[in-house]
Structure 1
Amino acid sequence: MVHIVGAGPGAPDLITVRGKELLEKADVIIYAGSLVNPALLDYKKADCAVYDSAKMTLEEVIEVVVQAESGGKMTVRLHTGDPCIYGAIREQMDELDHRGISYEICPGVSSFCGAASAMKMEYTLPEVTQSVIITRMAGRTPVPERESIASFAAHGATMVIFLSTGMLKELSNELIRGGYSPETPAAICYKATWPEEKTVVCTVSTLEECAQREQIRKTALILVGDAVSQSNYSRSLLYDPSFTTEFRKGTGETV
Structure 2
Amino acid sequence: MRGVVSFVGAGPGAADLMTLRGADRLAAADVVLFSPVLVDPVWLRAHTRDDADLVDLTRLSDEELLDLHRRVGSRLARAVRLVPGDPALSADLREQRETCERLGLDVEVVPGVSPISATAAAVGAPLLEPGADTLSLVEGVDAARAVATPGRTLVVHAPAARAADLAEVLRTAGFPEDVPVAVAYKVTSPAETLLRTTLADLTTEVKKANLWRHAHFIIGDTTRQPTRPTTDPSRWTARARRPKTDGEPRHTWSRPT
TM-score (norm 2): 0.80
Instruction: Compare 107-116 and 41-50 and name the one that shifted more.
Output: 41-50
- 1:126-205 counterparts in 2 under 5 A? 126-127=130-131, 129-137=132-140, 148-154=143-149, 156-205=151-200
Q: 1:90 and 2:94 equivalent?
A: yes
Partner residue of 2:231?
none
Q: Deviations over 1:221-244 (max 9, x none)?
A: 11111111127xxxxxxxxxxxxx
Question: Could you tell me which amino acid in structure 2 is paired with residue 93 of structure 1?
Answer: R
Letter in structure 2 aligned against 1:176: R
Change (3 A) 1:87 1:22: farther
TM-score relative to the length of structure 1: 0.81
- What CA distance in whole angstroms lies between the structure 1 residues aligned with 2:139 and 2:200? 17
- Post-superposition Cα deviations, 1:146-201, rounded to whole Å, max 9, x if no partner, equal xx312211253111111332211111111111221222100111111112322110
Please give the root-mean-square deviation of Cα atoms over the aligned residues, in Å. 1.8
Match of 1:42 among 13, 22, 46: 46
Letter in 2 for 1:15: M
Q: SS in structure 2 opposite 1:163? A: strand
In the other structure, the counterpart of 2:202 is 207
The offset of 1:215, in angstroms, is 1.4
Alpha-carbon distance in structure 2 between the residues aligned to 1:59 and 1:131: 42
What SS is found at the alignment partner of 1:153? Answer: coil
CA contact (8 A) 1:29 1:75 kept: yes
Q: Are 1:189 and 1:222, in contact at CA under 8 Å, matched by a contact in 2?
A: yes
Cα distance in 1 for partners of 2:202, 2:39 equals 25
What amino acid sits opposite 1:169 in the alignment?
A
The sequence identity of aligned pairs, in percent, is 29
Asked if structure 1 preserves the Cα contact closer than 8 Å seen for 2:22 and 2:110, the reply is yes
**Secondary structure class of the residue paired with 2:164:** helix
Q: Which runs of 5+ in 1 are unaligned?
A: 232-255
Matches of 1:206 and 1:88, distance apart in 2:
34
Q: Distance in 1 between matches of 2:213 and 2:74?
A: 38
The answer to whether the Cα contact below 8 Å between 2:159 and 2:212 also exists between their aligned partners in 1 is: no
CA contact (8 A) 2:33 2:82 kept: yes
How far 1:132 sits from its partner (Å)?
A: 1.9
Shift of 1:219: 4.1
Q: What one-letter code is carried by the residue in structure 2 that aligns with 1:51?
A: V
Q: Say how many residue pairs are matched.
A: 222
Gaps of 5+ in 2: 227-257
- Separation (CA, whole Å) in 1 of partners of 2:49 and 2:113: 23
